[in-house]
Chain A
Amino acid sequence: MNKSILKLAFVLALGIFSFSANAQKVYSTKTGQIFFNATGGIEKIAAVNNQTDSKFVEQTGQMIFAVLVKGFKFENQLMEDHFNENYMESSKFPKADFKGYITNIKEINFAKDGTYPVTVDGSLTIHGVSNKVSTTGTMKIEKGLPQIEGAFKIKIKDYGISGMYIGDKIAPDAAITINCKY
């Protein structure tokens, strides 16, 4: 008898768990955009990654952005090779990601089209080094579909990236711009 009650309780708990898991609405994209610009001189040092993998949970604001470093496209192939080999060491550190939360997610009405300001806190990992990042951006809701846009700057040296042109042709601060449609 006790065993049957236990089994029933287990099945019920599993059911409730699955229901709550299903109730979490997750938005995702695998082809979002992250731009990077570290132009320090006349020559443009900028790239885009069009295969940004990103997800966020509507209820909690938990979010992740992940990119493959070798997926950044430069206008100049030689520059792309230098970026990967001499600065980002992308064979050793193939990914960069941001994990955090939209802290004011409750202020967004997903049922109403509009542009909402968002604040984001989390941890950014580049070149195997993680740093806390806080920034602001916008969440645009159009026909129920969200789009996140944001921009912030990082100090290249904070991520253990060194190289002879940093502070010269390469700006010491790189601008990161995010544009993801979910």
Chain B
Amino acid sequence: MKKIILSAIIIILFGAAAGYYYAFVYSKNKKFDMENAESIAIDATALVKSFQDNEASANQLYLDKVLLIKGSVGSIAKTQAGENTITLSSEDPFSSVLATLDSTETKATKIGDSLLIKGFCKGFLSDVVITNAIIK
């Protein structure tokens, strides 16, 4: 009987430790492998147009998905938090793809460069917003 209770306690403790590790250590430090993630390839103009034409259906297709976007660099800037951003131009001068680069991304670019960027699509405001982006 004592053995059963002891085994049960050990199992419970192990489960609790595993749960704690998953929730607070693994999840906190887990880094998404953007480089090797499966992605949907699309060009910047088509992506912007897709959201402008029908945002709900574009959200269904692209929201929170990894996209590989081809386009021309329209601007390079930083967010208030100091993260690097790149916009890929579309045919509409008032709307582009706004990508916030991952902190590990260090490749240099300049305005007018033709680029492939890969990142999470977070939806559409004035621009299609991409985060955790890397330059391919």
Contact = CB atoms under 8 A, between A and B. Distances in A.
B is a partner of A: yes
Given A51-B98, A71-B122, A33 B80 contact: yes
B34 interface: no
Interface stretch (A15-23, A72-80, A119-127): A72-80
Contacts of A73: 131
B125 A76 contact: no
B126 A53 contact: yes
Contacts of B78: 31
Interface residues of A, number: 26
A31 B80 contact: yes
Interface in B1-46: 22-24, 27-28, 30
A31 B77 contact: yes
B48 to A, nearest CB: 14
Contacts of B63: 70, 91, 94
Contacts of A51: 79, 98, 100, 122, 125, 129, 131
Contact of A48 (B23, B81, B122, B126): B81
Contacts of A94: 59, 63, 123
B123 A50 contact: no
A83 B93 CA distance: 34
B126 A30 contact: yes
A95 interface: yes
A50 B79 contact: yes
16 contacts: A30-B98, A50-B80, A51-B131, A53-B127, A68-B122, A68-B124, A68-B125, A71-B123, A76-B23, A91-B64, A94-B59, A94-B63, A94-B123, A179-B80, A180-B80, A181-B80
Interface of B: 22-24, 27-28, 30, 59, 63-64, 77-81, 83, 85, 98, 100, 120, 122-127, 129, 131
Interface of A: 29-33, 48, 50-51, 53, 66-68, 70-71, 73, 75-79, 91, 94-95, 179-181
